[in-house]
Structure 1
Amino acid sequence: MKITRTTQILAASVLGLALAGAATPAMADDDPATGGVDVSVNIQPTTTPGQLSMTVADNNGVSLQENGSDAAARQFTGTLPTVTVTDTRTPEEIPQGEYWAVVGQASQFVAADDPAKTIGPEYLGWKPHLISDSSTGAVAAGEPVSSVVSDGTGAPEVGLKGQELLVSSANSADEIGTSQVNADLALRTPADVAAGEYHSTITLSLFNQS
């Protein structure tokens, strides 16, 4: 249609020029018909898939201080920096039955002055605390664990060797949101532990599970 219409307009223009010297009213009678076509497009906003992510608050490490020692054991305590898990996925993006967990693993404490002096991760325990949670109650702090040198609380005496800090339920629609957690740390050793400055690393990992 576009080609035919263009040809008609051009023909009328040529004819009008040819007839200009003969009679002016003929120009009005031969004006070409014109029309317009509305062109529209609806451009949707760019969307990106939601994500499940974890961050640890800025920190300079944790310096454990002696607190709660007795004749049976030496105890050193501190607080884990705040850990934040954010889930921005939609329910449709989360497979049915999937849940996530933040798991902590401590490395061996090694003395700065003598690498042969060590304290195993089984002597480090923690007690997680849920600080805030914008999900609909589907996220909970992990269970406390104690050093293998009992602290008398009744917590499992396994140490920090792959323990859950924060865990969601398996209801994908409820776990969406932001949750924050920290933990009380307690290194409880035998009373005759060798003196020295020791260093360890706690590795926090966010796992998706089903």
Structure 2
Amino acid sequence: MRINRTTQLLAAAVLGVALAGVGVAGPAMADDDPEEGIDVTVTIEPSTTHGQVSMTVADNGGVPLQEDGSNAAARQFVGTLPTVTVTDTRRPEEIPAGDFWAVVGQASEFTATSGSAPPIGPQYLGWRPRLLTGSSSGAVEAGEPVSSVISDGSGAPTVGLQGQELLVSTANSADEIGTWQVNADLTLRTPADVTAGEYRSTLTLSLFNQS
């Protein structure tokens, strides 16, 4: 509604200038036939393009985890997930009742890039999703935080990053439409005696839609 009011104000301002210009021309203009306006018409056919739910990840070169917060109980390494954007361009009538979508993250083992150090399982990697797009209706929510199997003391479930939700919609189709952004704080907590070396894991993000 705010856009409509702004448009009306702009049209009135333009119209006012045109009327002022006409007035300067003199009384003879009063004889103009007000019925000689030009009708402008347009026929807009129903759109045949169907909307969709899509996901993009911000350009990135990977996520380097840096040591921060280690103690006698565990070595801790932290980083930030690149911003993930989900866009739903469907119309309400295109969305089945009970339809919802979710972005789910699954980490692979951290394997040493050299040497024979044992891998670090995905259960040692946790995250804390953070919704970057405001949601007054609560139609879309960030996933629940999860911790490494070596607890960080936050009270989050100690299940690691094994098929966890990053972003999830509700089943209210009218409120799902829009663009949503999320990222997450990543935390890898390993045993204190973890073998030194460089490790690499792949974090796969998948967008699921279900009716």
Structure-1-length-normalised TM-score: 0.77
State whether structure 2 residue 183 is matched by structure 1 residue 179.
no
CA distance in 2, matches of 1:155, 1:199: 24
After superposition, where does 1:18-29 map in structure 2 within 5 Å?
Answer: none
Post-superposition shift, 1:209?
1.8
Task: Find the counterpart in structure 2 of residue 189 from structure 1.
Answer: 190
The aligned amino acid for 2:107 is: A
What secondary structure sits across from 2:93 in the alignment? Answer: helix
Please list the CA deviations of residues 124-182 of structure 1 after superposition, one character each: whole Å capped at 9, or x if unmatched.
00000000146843000000000000100010000000000000000011110000000
Counterpart of 1:130 in structure 2 is 131
**Percent identity between the two aligned chains:** 76
Kindly indicate whether residue 115 of structure 2 is the aligned counterpart of residue 120 of structure 1.
Answer: no
Q: What does the per-residue CA deviation read over 1:44-103, in whole Å, with 9 as the maximum and x for residues that have no partner?
A: 375310010000000000000000000110000000000000000011101000100000
Give the total of aligned pairs: 170
RMSD: 1.7
AA in 1 matched with 2:93? E
Q: Which letter maps to 2:206?
A: S
Q: Secondary structure at the match of 2:132?
A: strand
- Which is higher, the Rg of structure 1 or of structure 2? 1
> Would the aligned equivalents of 1:53 and 1:85 in 2 still touch at CA under 8 Å?
yes
Distance 2:150 2:186 in 1: 14
Is 1:164 paired with 2:180?
no
Partners of 1:149 and 1:157 within 8 A in 2: yes
Q: Which secondary structure does the structure 2 equivalent of 1:125 belong to?
A: strand
- Describe the superposition over 1:12-59 as per-residue Cα deviations: whole angstroms up to 9, x where unpaired: xxxxxxxxxxxxxxxxxxxxxxxxxxxxxx673753100100000000
Unpaired runs of 5+ in structure 1? 1-41
